[in-house]
A and B are shown apart, each in its own frame.
Chain A
């Protein structure tokens, strides 16, 4: 902590120093803004930087800290902490585009529940980050505006669709970030950017105000430097919302105490052979095998699982996501906001049209309805697995961050890249992705997947894992990586 620049701190470290009066929120916020000034022209994580607003909020935070002292955090647990937010979250009065041309200039007159909760908790918005337009992608290359680069190697992609947020966190251009996952959009970028991402269970975090992609799987969640930080954020943003009828009504546990209740050594962890026996890039396979060996050594019990072939999950996800996308983008007709429909990018059109097809008369049964039936099989498959094991471990991505340009290799690039995340997304399960090493200068990641609403369990696994190794402490040397 002592050798770090302020913008390199975690939330936990920042709070400690703030509470000790050793740093101010303005200093912390300025440090992040300076980092943005220094490196974002190379990384291009941010679409909008709300500099003045952020400093204003930081000043207010400092004034409250002055006045209330340590009690200031009783009602505002994240007071003074600056964060970046994916540009599909409606932020009142601040342009929200979902990285699409059609929404360029759109200023929401209302606030999303997640950003409102963070505001109420005292967090400070630094700006809105880049993404694949409408979240339709796994590399942030299909942003209508520009491509975000991976801070580890700027000729590679940061993953997507929360690529901007992940890059901002990995480049220490914020203390934490907020993203969303439909299938892979938090875990994927977390993996390729070497940071920690939590995809909460579907319905654990309110979708109100998040520009919808696939209504039945969209899950807002945190990307941060540690699993502990993710737990802190989850505490704030999780919970039932009267404005979102699909939010779970079970109470939110205090995720910071998760390791009090669970210990890796007492858990049985399953590894689906279908997730290991696919084509994994060499570096990924090596690091995964190392990790499994490391954990076995530590005392973790593993069991091989036999689950459904992942190709079915790819098919289910492609159909239901594109169907719901076709429906959710129907409201953009240029009358009440935004441009006309010819402003949609290629990927959006691609997905909308195929989605219209899979819902159309004559094909609905063979595609959408069929996909929802197979969804039942996938859910049952996980239920069966969780009878034998407590958690599932798997690589997060089958490959290392690929070169920019990769997404053009297939009309299904996104869905194919996220093969290891689609099954759990379809079933609405929670998962945490944590760094497990680097290979040729690029990060590798593993994920813990748990049963529905077991955020406490997956976070406990992630937090404990990060107690026994230091992979998550690796951050790219930006001077070197951005000056190629």
Chain B
């Protein structure tokens, strides 16, 4: 990474768009399950932008955005509203997008990365998505099913100084969205898109906390791998320009995965004068203290909290915890807790649930039965004595080491007895016998 940057430092921020998994669209009653639908079969006067149609916001989308805000330590604004953002493009049916400008739903949050570094979230707001268009033979063909779908936009500050942190952050956001059940966030389906904004600065500027006078935004990246590659491309490109003494142009670029280059895009929104003004068709939102308290209660236990709990309450191993906090393993956690309440060893249970598929489908009683069978210990003193004697006889050099003062070999011998008895030997009794018979 440093060889790419040379003497420059990376200034990277992310804009992440996530489709909210509501039943209906953001401002109209159309069914939001548009994936694989025939074109233009999920439209209505409102999302099609017919004259006279009006928007009414979908509460489910608002709530889910606020949950993401809470989960990322954002403040939920008590006053929030929608604004119109104007530009002309075939995929924007009203000639403006209903978005949020000055009073977004959530602001000033953060996620702590594995390195301990903090990724700062500037805001999370809610808006409607544009339609899907494709270009063919000089024409543009448009499907308005996607138009009006609810979209959360999460914007970070330019806080990332290395790509890995940014990728980790994006993955954590994705996992959170799934964990909270607010989005499937499948990038291949287009349910999550990332737009990194990249610029470079000198070490001196970094020291003074000065931002570069430009930034380049890479539009519509739909995989973590491409994000990494696109950012690397940009670093190389920008560095090349900076080293000639020039400043890269502030612009939007697209990533061409076949050629592994970024390409300047024709500006979709002219002159960046969006002429924002408050959406007159939608009254503002006011969230009381009570409302915010209530919604906080609706937040499920977050992965970080769960990890702590699994460690302190059940003493699970790190590798087990890492797996169990994944959103797809929510039901395994539930099973684990249920079984642990029956006094089964949580570490053993976790192991079985994670590694042995056949255990996952067992009912609680069946699981306990099977578990007990597997963990039957050989307590019979005669059988154990026999095993111990066998092991001691087969390991005379080890026995001598013990006699010479090396106490640690006792564990080795115990292990051998365990192996001999296929794990069934009662460890305490066995250890006692070994000490006696040795």
Chain A residues with a Cβ under 8 A of chain B: 88-90, 96, 98, 103, 106, 108-110, 112, 207-212, 215-216, 242-246, 323-324, 326-327, 329-333, 335-337, 356, 359-361, 364, 368
Contacts and interface: CB of A to CB of B under 8 A. Distances in A.
Contacts of B94: 330-331
B54 A327 contact: no
Contacts of B211: none
Select the residue from B57, B94, B144, B282 with max chain A CB neighbours within 10 A.
B94
A361 B275 contact: yes
A476 B246 CA distance: 77
A245 B283 contact: yes
B277 A209 contact: no
Interface stretch (B84-92, B106-114, B174-182, B213-221): B84-92
Interface string B244-277: 0000000000000000000000000000010111
Nearest to B27: A245
Given A215-B280, A215-B281, A336 B93 contact: yes
A220 to B, nearest CB: 11
21 contacts: A90-B50, A108-B50, A109-B45, A209-B45, A243-B56, A245-B283, A246-B281, A327-B96, A327-B275, A327-B277, A329-B95, A330-B86, A331-B49, A331-B51, A331-B94, A336-B49, A356-B275, A359-B86, A360-B275, A361-B275, A364-B275
B116 interface: no
A335 B144 CA distance: 12
A323 B277 contact: yes
B190 interface: no
Contacts of B96: 327, 330
Contacts of A216: 280
B307 to A, nearest CB: 42
Given A110-B53, A245-B283, A329-B95, 18 more contacts: A90-B45, A108-B50, A112-B52, A209-B53, A244-B54, A244-B56, A246-B283, A330-B96, A331-B51, A333-B95, A335-B90, A336-B50, A359-B86, A359-B276, A360-B273, A361-B275, A364-B275, A364-B276
Contact of B51 (A90, A215, A327, A359): A90
Contacts of A112: 52
B146 to A, nearest CB: 15
A interface majority secondary structure: loop
B187 interface: no
Nearest to B140: A335
Contacts of A96: 51
Select the residue from B51, B88, B94 with max chain A CB neighbours within 10 A.
B51
B418 interface: no
Contact of A245 (B57, B93, B142, B276): B57
Given A215-B280, A245-B57, A368-B277, A327 B86 contact: yes
Select the residue from B57, B84, B276 with max chain A CB neighbours within 10 A.
B84
Interface of B: 44-45, 48-57, 84, 86, 88, 90, 93-96, 142, 144, 273, 275-277, 280-283
B95 A331 contact: yes
B95 A359 contact: no
Contacts of A244: 54, 56, 281
A110 B53 CA distance: 9
Contacts of A327: 84, 86, 95-96, 275, 277
A112 B50 CA distance: 12
Nearest to A324: B280
Contacts of B273: 360-361
B136 to A, nearest CB: 15
Which 10 pairs across A and B sit closest by C-beta, in order of nearness?
A330-B95, A215-B280, A359-B275, A211-B51, A331-B49, A216-B280, A209-B52, A331-B94, A90-B52, A245-B56
A418 to B, nearest CB: 20
A103 B51 CA distance: 10
B51 A242 contact: no
Nearest to B45: A110
Contacts of A324: 280
A212 B96 CA distance: 14
Given A245-B283, A364-B277, A330 B53 contact: no
Contacts of A110: 44-45, 50, 53
Nearest to A361: B273
B50 A337 contact: yes
Select the residue from B53, B57, B93, B283 with max chain A CB neighbours within 10 A.
B53
Contacts of A106: 51
A356 B88 CA distance: 13
B419 to A, nearest CB: 72
Contacts of A242: 56
A323 B276 CA distance: 11
Nearest to B48: A336
Contacts of B275: 326-327, 356, 359-361, 364
A360 B272 CA distance: 10
A212 B52 contact: yes
B128 to A, nearest CB: 13
Select the residue from B95, B280, B282 with max chain A CB neighbours within 10 A.
B280
Given A215-B280, A245-B281, A210 B52 contact: yes
Contacts of A245: 54-57, 281-283
Contacts of B282: 245-246
A323 B278 CA distance: 12
A220 B399 CA distance: 101
Select the residue from B86, B90, B282 with max chain A CB neighbours within 10 A.
B86
Contacts of A211: 51-52
Contacts of A210: 52
B277 A332 contact: no
A326 B274 CA distance: 12
Given A330-B96, A331-B95, A98 B51 contact: yes
A149 to B, nearest CB: 27
A323 to B, nearest CB: 7
B138 to A, nearest CB: 15
Contacts of B50: 90, 108-110, 331, 336-337
A324 B52 CA distance: 14
A108 B84 contact: no
A129 to B, nearest CB: 16
Contacts of B142: 335
Nearest to A97: B51
A46 B95 CA distance: 31
Contacts of B54: 207-208, 243-246
A195 B54 CA distance: 31
